[in-house]
Amino acid sequence: MSEYQEKHTISRLIGSPPGYVGYGEGGLLTEAIRQKPYSIVLLDEVEKAHPDVLNLFYQAFDKGELADGEGRLIDCKNILFMLTSNCGFDAANDKFAVKTNEQLRQSLLTFFKPALLARMQIVQYNYLTTDVMQQIVKAKLAKLEKLVTERYKAQFTIAPNILEHIEQQCEADANGARLVDAILEGQLLPPLSLALLQRIASGEKMTKIVLNFEEGEYHTCIE
């Protein structure tokens, strides 16, 4: 929602009123709801939007309808609104500590008006556990393994310590699971790609590809 930091950007969501530029074109939000009345609307990092943007949702949460820039009422009774926020992120020193709803509510009140917050249900999102993080890394590595195996028709083996290393890197970084792709693309894939290209250039066949992690670096062995 960082695109809606200015008050005038409200018209982008509901459309411009008569006499203003963009009148008749409809709003991004109201038109999307009108065309797909059974949907989930996600407002990510809503605290970055101008406070007046949130005033639109009093009507939606109370009556199940939104008025667009032309004054038409858009039915949103079957819309699930999900608003994510980083408010309360630093409410506990221990990242695995479970905060109470009251603790979260006090943090959310620094941005949300009490009347609006009372119309919403607070759902707490905690850090990913080690088990979940490992599952994410495993899924990414399995996808890579399948891709290499099918592309080069060779047995592809990924050393077990690679899973552990990537998982530990992600847990130590504030970006968490978002870091997985960055590690794969920036650290793991370059040496793997180089080894594969060199093998192809040599004209030798490949029957076995082994990816290892030793002394802080990724190494590829091809037979």
Residue 55 above 70 pLDDT?
yes
**Angstrom distance (rounded) from CA 79 to CA 81:** 6
Check: CB of residue 76 under 8 Å from CB of residue 33. Answer: yes
Q: How confident is the model over 70-126, as pLDDT tens digits?
A: 888 889 999 999 999 888 776 444 555 566 778 788 888 888 889 988 888 888 887
- pTM score above 0.85: no
Check: CB of residue 210 under 8 Å from CB of residue 155. Answer: no
Tokens at residue 8, please?
């005038």
Q: How confident is the model over 144-181, as pLDDT tens digits?
A: 999 999 999 999 999 999 999 999 888 887 777 888 99
Please give the pLDDT value at position 95. 57
Please give the pLDDT value at position 166. 92
Most confident of 5-14, 26-35, 178-187: 178-187
Buried b or exposed e, range 121-133, using 16+ CB within 10 angstroms = eeeeeeeeeeeeb
Long-range contacts (CB closer than 8 Å, 24 or more residues apart) made by 93-97: 95/127, 96/126, 96/127
Q: How confident is the model at residue 22 (pLDDT cuts 50, 70, 90)?
A: low
Q: Which is nearest to 184 in space by CA: 115, 137, 135? A: 137
Domain boundaries, the chain: 2-84, 130-222
Check: CB of residue 223 under 8 Å from CB of residue 208. Answer: yes
Q: For residue 56, with 0-12 CB atoms within 10 Å meaning exposed, 13-18 middle and 19 or more buried, which class applies?
A: middle
CATH level 2 (architecture), domain 130-222 = Orthogonal Bundle (1.10)
Residue 12 above 90 pLDDT?
no
Please give the pLDDT value at position 182. 92
For residue 211, list its beta bridge partners.
158, 220
Check: CB of residue 12 under 8 Å from CB of residue 4. Answer: yes
Phi first, then psi, for residue 169 (nearest 5°) are -60, -45
**Angstrom distance (rounded) from CA 29 to CA 124:** 25
Query: 73 vs 34, 36, 58, 131, CA distance in Å?
Result: 10, 15, 14, 47
Q: How confident is the model over 25-43, as pLDDT tens digits?
A: 778 888 889 899 999 999 9
Please give the pLDDT value at position 98. 62
Residue 57 above 60 pLDDT?
yes
